């Protein structure tokens, strides 16, 4: 793939472009100088949580990437990311400034720590290079051409063609990796991509759909047209320097807060939901048309003197006006379509869906009837794109769009690539809604065949019922999407909206307080003994955490640990627990101590590149006394990173236990790869062991399999003596539960161990 950079001067760049480029360059140099001076006086982002509010957050990016982020005509940073960054800074309590210039420089500054954040499209390559936030939008790119550009069906047909791209961006990176022998023409400005294309000297231009629409509207590039299907659909979010998990947690926290309050939607609509495109085009048309008609009118007044000469000129101007009118009508038609339809699937978009809901609400209010808003999302779309390529993902979405259109006509809508909304009218109650949803899911769970490959889809969805769950279009959509988010968290196919799913107002307070609690060692360690059923002796314990909050009192882990995972604090919490366990061992253990302490570790921790290194450095001389419990489902998340961490830890002498065995995605190959010293049978199979033949079969089979692999078995949730005795009869090695001992402060646990009591059951 050969690259050449667009040259300035000569016949390749028009004087207008050159003048605009020089002006913008001077403006950018002045702005960059100011930012450099400001940055020189600013501290680097602190390493400790206590300093997280003490300085200015610096967000980098491209100065010419509208409507995401750009320098506007007044020389001020503007765009969706700018408004979003300011809003997030407000929620997390810090100042913010924007360093917008060249994309390549922005990415280099991010890696060097000169800027803290760069918003970007998150490809797999970028996700491995940076730590990235929760994606907050997904967008696709469009191939544009002029009247002489032949249509194409995909990126693979661009071989040998000159295509204009913005230098250093996601599009250039992605096309470089395709290996297609195209001829990129690189510019520093998104607007120049389409302005140069309009000259007719190049074949194609490729930009994000939102950026292209912005540029076309601003520069009245009515001669351009979309000449291919959407390509390069990708998530978009914040990127921070690798390892800066603390800042990442703050960004995710701020995003979550803005989405909960509805402020994110307002910012999104301000920049991406265009309802006045037609009006602007009409205004531009009238302005240009008046400039054409005025000389015609004046010429006609002088026609008595110059009639023969003017007849020819008027004819030429009339032809020009006719051509201009044709172009304007075409632009108006395209703008109207894009304003209310999703170009990828052909379905109505969010704007259309809101209008539909508003009309339906009026009718439903008059008729006293109910309807449902149903939102569903394809969960494995990113995997499909990565494995099969974007063309496969695009074709898949077109197939689903066609099915939606056939089944629901105008009641279906496409919000984002992979997310759809359906209005289900005439619902009497939730039973009717469930019937409709099950019918829809049954249809869409059927495997799709794309390019001869069978694709199985995974969905998560939620619904809101009018008027029970809202009487406003935006509220109904928001509540359906909230229910969909809950269905993702709970791994259920669909869930109806409930007030109980509304974010707990304590959450943000708890997260801020948790950081302080970790710094001030307010988190206390508890330990539940693990008892050898053959020796009737304590052989170890599982370390648990408790938090006595000054305002909310004693908090169970079930309350604050999910929040820590959601907002990116789980890593700090895990390392805090391991560090405190090591300190406890330093103070109480002998070198020949037989007791082992187990610590729960999340999947995200194991997948973190430096987790093993940090843990080994912390544990030092106590590697033989620490057991890390990993949930079985963790092995399904980024397996290679998990396995790499596990191998490094095991080489250092730290052993592994598979927690909640039997509840995740069971696979004997995982046991073989992870090589654990023990597996813990989940308490759901233990609590009814004495009365459930099925549970007995599961437990017996697990024990026999584990012993055959020389693995110990721990039974969690042993709540009564009868269950403990049955476990002993079934040759289970170790039991843990209230029948033997409840969780206790770790100091009390150690005193109990030192007494060396025989555990009677």
Of residues 675, 603, 597, 672, the one with CA closest to residue 632: 603
Of residues 394, 390, 393, 381, the one with CA closest to residue 175: 390
Residues 726-748, mean pLDDT to the nearest whole number: 94
E strands, 428-558, in order: 448-450, 453-455, 459-466, 494-496, 523-532, 537-549, 553-555
Structure tokens at 87: 């809003």
SS3 assignment, position 429: coil
> 93-97, 406-410, 744-748: lowest mean pLDDT where?
406-410
SS3 assignment, position 716: strand
More reliable by pLDDT, 36 or 670: 670
> 30-44, 297-311, 622-636, 640-654: lowest mean pLDDT where?
30-44
Residues 659-674, mean pLDDT to the nearest whole number: 70
More reliable by pLDDT, 314 or 451: 451
Q: Rounded CA gap, 130 and 107, in Å? A: 10
With beta carbons less than 8 A apart as the criterion, state whether 740 and 529 touch: yes
The 3-class SS string of 183-222 reads: EEEEECCHHHHHHHHHCCCCCEEEEEHHHHHHHHHHHCCC
Q: Which residue bears the tokens 């008595």?
A: 304
% of the chain exceeding 70 in pLDDT: 83
Burial of 260 (0-12, 13-18, 19+ CB in 10 A): middle
With beta carbons less than 8 A apart as the criterion, state whether 265 and 354 touch: no
pLDDT above 70 (res 289) = no
Indicate the pLDDT class of residue 370, thresholds 50, 70 and 90. very high
pLDDT above 90 (res 86) = yes
pLDDT at 615: 95
With beta carbons less than 8 A apart as the criterion, state whether 460 and 493 touch: yes
pLDDT above 50 (res 708) = yes
Question: 523 - beta bridge partners?
Answer: 547
Q: Could you give the maximum distance between any two Cα atoms of the chain, in Å?
A: 123
Helices (H), 79-147: 80-92, 103-112, 124-129
pLDDT above 60 (res 339) = yes
pLDDT at 161: 87
pLDDT above 70 (res 31) = no
Indicate the pLDDT class of residue 334, thresholds 50, 70 and 90. low
Structure tokens at 501: 């799913």
Residues 353-378, mean pLDDT to the nearest whole number: 92
pLDDT above 50 (res 326) = yes
Residues 386-397, mean pLDDT to the nearest whole number: 83
Helices (H), 262-276: 263-272
pLDDT above 90 (res 542) = yes
More reliable by pLDDT, 39 or 460: 460
CATH hierarchy code of domain 350-501: 3.30.70.270
pLDDT at 321: 53
Specify the pairing of strand 370-378 against strand 419-427: antiparallel
Of residues 453, 451, 475, the one with CA closest to residue 464: 475
Q: Rounded CA gap, 169 and 118, in Å? A: 12
Q: Is 468 left (phi over 0), alpha (psi -120 to 50) or beta?
A: alpha
Residues 731-754, mean pLDDT to the nearest whole number: 94
Structure tokens at 374: 């149903």
Q: For the packed helices 303-340 and 209-219, what is the interaxial angle rounded to 10 degrees?
A: 160
Q: Radius of gyration (Cα) for the chain, nearest Å?
A: 31
In degrees, rounded to 5, the angle at the alpha carbon of residue 456 between the alpha carbons of residues 452 and 461 is: 140
More reliable by pLDDT, 42 or 267: 267
Q: Rounded CA gap, 3 and 6, in Å? A: 10
CATH number for 15-137+237-272: choose from 3.40.50.1110, 3.40.50.300, 3.40.190.10, 3.40.605.10: 3.40.190.10
Residues 616-643, mean pLDDT to the nearest whole number: 79
DSSP state of 341: B
CATH 3.20.20.450 for domain 506-755: yes
Q: Rounded CA gap, 280 and 284, in Å? A: 6
Indicate the pLDDT class of residue 121, thresholds 50, 70 and 90. very high
With beta carbons less than 8 A apart as the criterion, state whether 202 and 196 touch: yes
pLDDT at 40: 36
SS3 assignment, position 463: strand
**Digit-coded pLDDT (tens) for 53-83:** 457 899 999 998 999 999 988 889 999 999 9
Its CATH class, for the domain covering 139-229, is alpha beta
Q: Which residue bears the tokens 């009365």?
A: 691
Q: Rounded CA gap, 317 and 329, in Å? A: 18
Q: Which residue bears the tokens 């936030």?
A: 133
What are the C-alpha distances in Å from 372 to residues 246, 477, 491, 511, 675?
40, 10, 22, 34, 49
With beta carbons less than 8 A apart as the criterion, state whether 45 and 116 touch: yes
pLDDT above 50 (res 27) = no
Half-sphere exposure of 611 (CA within 13 A, CB side): 28
pLDDT at 7: 36
* Other Cβ atoms closer than 10 A to 432: 16
Structure tokens at 451: 């390019």
**Digit-coded pLDDT (tens) for 145-169:** 988 888 887 888 888 888 999 888 8
* Other Cβ atoms closer than 10 A to 243: 13
Burial of 323 (0-12, 13-18, 19+ CB in 10 A): exposed
% of the chain exceeding 90 in pLDDT: 37
pLDDT at 14: 40
E strands, 611-683, in order: 626-631, 655-661, 678-681
Structure tokens at 401: 């769009």
pLDDT at 283: 42
**Digit-coded pLDDT (tens) for 604-621:** 788 888 899 999 999 988
Output the pTM of the full model: 0.53
Indicate the pLDDT class of residue 24, thresholds 50, 70 and 90. very low
pLDDT at 49: 38
Of residues 413, 537, 541, the one with CA closest to residue 481: 413
The 3-class SS string of 345-409 reads: CCCECHHHHHHHHHHHHHHHHHHCCEEEEEEEEECCHHHHHHHHCHHHHHHHHHHHHHHHHHHHH
The CA-to-CA distance between both ends of the chain, in Å, stands at 73
More reliable by pLDDT, 407 or 526: 526
pLDDT above 60 (res 43) = no
**Digit-coded pLDDT (tens) for 527-540:** 999 999 999 999 99
Structure tokens at 82: 């700018």
Indicate the pLDDT class of residue 543, thresholds 50, 70 and 90. very high
More reliable by pLDDT, 391 or 16: 391
Q: Rounded CA gap, 525 and 544, in Å? A: 6
With beta carbons less than 8 A apart as the criterion, state whether 685 and 703 touch: no
Q: Which residue bears the tokens 């990235």?
A: 132
Residues 513-552 as b/e (b if ≥16 CB within 10 A, e otherwise) read bbbebbeeeebbbbbbbbbebeeeebbbbbbbbbbebeee
pLDDT at 309: 53
- The H or E element that residue 427 is part of is strand 419-427
pLDDT at 1: 44
pLDDT at 256: 84
Q: Rounded CA gap, 683 and 657, in Å? A: 15
What average pLDDT is seen over the chain? 81
Question: 553 - beta bridge partners?
Answer: 549
Indicate the pLDDT class of residue 308, thresholds 50, 70 and 90. low
What are the C-alpha distances in Å from 663 to residues 82, 277, 328, 563?
44, 52, 61, 22
pLDDT above 70 (res 446) = yes
Half-sphere exposure of 49 (CA within 13 A, CB side): 19
């Amino acid at each position: 793939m050969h690259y050449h950079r667009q040259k300035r001067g000569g016949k390749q760049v028009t004087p207008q472009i050159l003048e605009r480029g020089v002006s913008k360059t001077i403006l950018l140099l002045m702005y960059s100088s100011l930012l450099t001076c400001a940055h020189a006086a600013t501290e680097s982002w602190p390493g400790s949580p206590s300093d997280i509010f003490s300085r200015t957050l610096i967000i980098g990016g491209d100065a010419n990437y509208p409507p995401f982020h750009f320098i506007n005509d007044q020389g001020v940073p503007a765009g969706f990311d700018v408004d979003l960054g300011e809003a997030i800074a407000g929620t997390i309590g810090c100042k913010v400034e924007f360093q917008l210039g060249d994309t390549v420089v922005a990415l280099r500054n991010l890696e060097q720590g000169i800027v803290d954040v760069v918003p970007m499209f998150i490809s797999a390559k970028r996700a491995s290079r940076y730590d990235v936030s929760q994606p907050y939008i997904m967008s696709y790119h469009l191939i544009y051409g002029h009247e002489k550009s032949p249509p194409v069906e995909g990126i693979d047909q661009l071989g040998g063609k000159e295509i204009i791209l913005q230098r250093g961006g996601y599009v250039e990176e992605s096309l470089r990796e395709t290996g297609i022998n195209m001829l990129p023409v690189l510019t520093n400005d998104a607007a120049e991509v389409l302005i140069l294309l309009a000259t007719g000297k190049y074949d194609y231009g490729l930009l994000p759909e939102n950026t292209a629409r912005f540029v076309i509207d601003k520069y009245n590039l009515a001669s351009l047209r979309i000449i291919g299907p959407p390509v390069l659909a990708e998530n978009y979010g914040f990127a921070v320097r690798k390892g800066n998990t603390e800042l990442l947690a703050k960004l995710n926290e701020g995003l979550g807060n803005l989405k909960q309050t509805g402020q994110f939607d307002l910012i999104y609509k301000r920049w991406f939901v265009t309802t006045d495109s037609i009006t602007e085009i009409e205004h531009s048309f009238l302005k240009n048309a008046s400039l054409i008609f005025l000389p015609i009118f004046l010429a006609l007044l002088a026609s008595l003197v110059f009639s023969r000469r003017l007849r020819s000129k008027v004819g030429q101007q009339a032809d020009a006006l006719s051509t201009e009118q044709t172009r304007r009508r075409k632009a108006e038609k395209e703008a109207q379509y894009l304003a209310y339809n999703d170009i990828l699937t052909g379905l109505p978009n969010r704007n259309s869906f809101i209008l539909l809901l508003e009309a339906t609400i009026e009718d439903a209010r008059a008729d006293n009837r109910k309807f449902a808003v149903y939102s569903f999302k394809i969960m494995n779309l990113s995997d499909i794109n990565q494995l099969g390529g974007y063309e496969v993902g695009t074709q898949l979405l077109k197939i689903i769009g066609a099915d939606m259109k056939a089944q629901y006509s105008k009641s279906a809508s496409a919000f984002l690539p992979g997310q759809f909304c359906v209005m289900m009218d005439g619902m009497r109650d939730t039973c009717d809604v469930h019937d409709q949803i099950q019918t829809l899911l049954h249809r869409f769970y059927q495997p799709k065949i794309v390019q001869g490959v069978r694709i199985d889809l995974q969905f998560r969805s939620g619904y809101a019922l009018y008027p029970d769950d809202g009487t406003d279009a935006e509220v109904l959509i928001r509540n359906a999407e909230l229910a969909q988010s809950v269905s993702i968290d709970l791994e259920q196919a669909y869930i109806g909206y409930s007030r109980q799913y509304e974010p707990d107002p304590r959450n943000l307070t708890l997260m801020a307080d948790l950081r302080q609690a970790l710094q001030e060692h307010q988190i206390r360690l508890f330990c539940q003994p693990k008892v050898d059923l053959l020796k009737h002796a304590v052989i170890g314990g599982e370390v648990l955490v408790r938090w006595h909050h000054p305002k909310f009192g004693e908090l169970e882990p079930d309350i604050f640990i999910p929040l820590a995972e959601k907002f990116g604090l789980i890593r700090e919490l895990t390392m805090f627990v391991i560090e405190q366990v090591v300190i406890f061992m330093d103070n109480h253990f002998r070198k020949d101590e037989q007791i082992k302490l187990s610590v729960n570790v999340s999947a995200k921790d194991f997948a973190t590149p430096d987790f093993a290194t940090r843990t080994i450095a912390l544990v030092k001389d106590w590697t033989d006394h620490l057991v890390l419990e990993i949930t079985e489902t963790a092995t399904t998340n980024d397996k290679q990173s998990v396995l790499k961490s596990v191998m490094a830890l095991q080489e250092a002498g730290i052993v592994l236990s598979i927690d909640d065995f039997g509840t995740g995605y069971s696979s004997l190959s995982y046991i073989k790869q992870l090589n654990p010293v023990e597996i813990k049978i989940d308490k759901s199979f233990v609590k009814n062991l004495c009365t459930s033949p099925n549970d007995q079969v599961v437990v017996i089979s697990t024990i026999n399999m584990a012993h055959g692999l020389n693995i110990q078995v721990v039974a969690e949730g042993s709540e009564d003596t009868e269950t403990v005795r049955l476990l002993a009869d079934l040759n289970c090695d170790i039991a843990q539960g209230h029948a033997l001992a409840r969780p206790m402060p770790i100091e009390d646990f150690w005193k109990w161990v030192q007494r060396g009591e025989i555990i009677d059951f």
